[in-house]
Amino acid sequence: MKPPQRMRRTMSRNLYVTLPVKDVQRSVHFFAALGFAFNPKFASDNGAALIINDTTTVMLASEAFFSTLTKVPITDARQATEALFSLSLDSRADVDDLIRKAVAAGAEEGHDPEDYGFMYQRAFIDLDGHQWGVFQMNAEE
């Protein structure tokens, strides 16, 4: 008699992003001030898991640990851009509120507000130079 086959559980396709940061705790305090939470299962001196939503997490990794994950040097995000990160929010007020919190926590504002009618966007540059776009879009227009 054959043993029962184990049901194979598959994970849906998703994107995982890891960002190098100079000081993990400083970055945790910054993003917590913006209202983000962290997954304590993935927290150490080497990194912290920033929860974006139920299916999206950004790992903030210390530069020392991040450098073990790649063979090429870490880019100084204040000197060169490798990626832009965009967050969609429910309302223009939410966009303005997040930018206000980011600047109060030490970020730089990325650019002046841009209003296209169907979309409103702003941006901030985090403590390590990573650029975050924040926008609200009315999909019905």
pLDDT in tens, 50-74: 999 999 999 999 999 999 999 999 9
Query: Model-level pTM?
Result: 0.85
CA-based max dimension of the chain: 70
Q: Residue 141: is its pLDDT beyond 60?
A: no
Q: Which two tokens stand for residue 92?
A: 């223009």
| The predicted structure's pLDDT at residue 4 | 59
pLDDT band at 13 (very low <50, low <70, confident <90, very high): confident
Cα distance between residue 104 and residue 35, in whole Å: 13
Cα distance between residue 42 and residue 54, in whole Å: 15
Mean pLDDT of the chain: 92
Cα distance between residue 81 and residue 91, in whole Å: 28
Average pLDDT for residues 93-114, to the nearest whole number?
A: 97
pLDDT band at 135 (very low <50, low <70, confident <90, very high): very high
Q: Which two tokens stand for residue 91?
A: 């309302």
Question: Amino acid identity, residue 131?
Answer: Q
**Cβ neighbours of residue 135 closer than 8 Å, sequence gap 6 or more:** 86, 87, 88, 89, 95, 119, 120, 121, 122
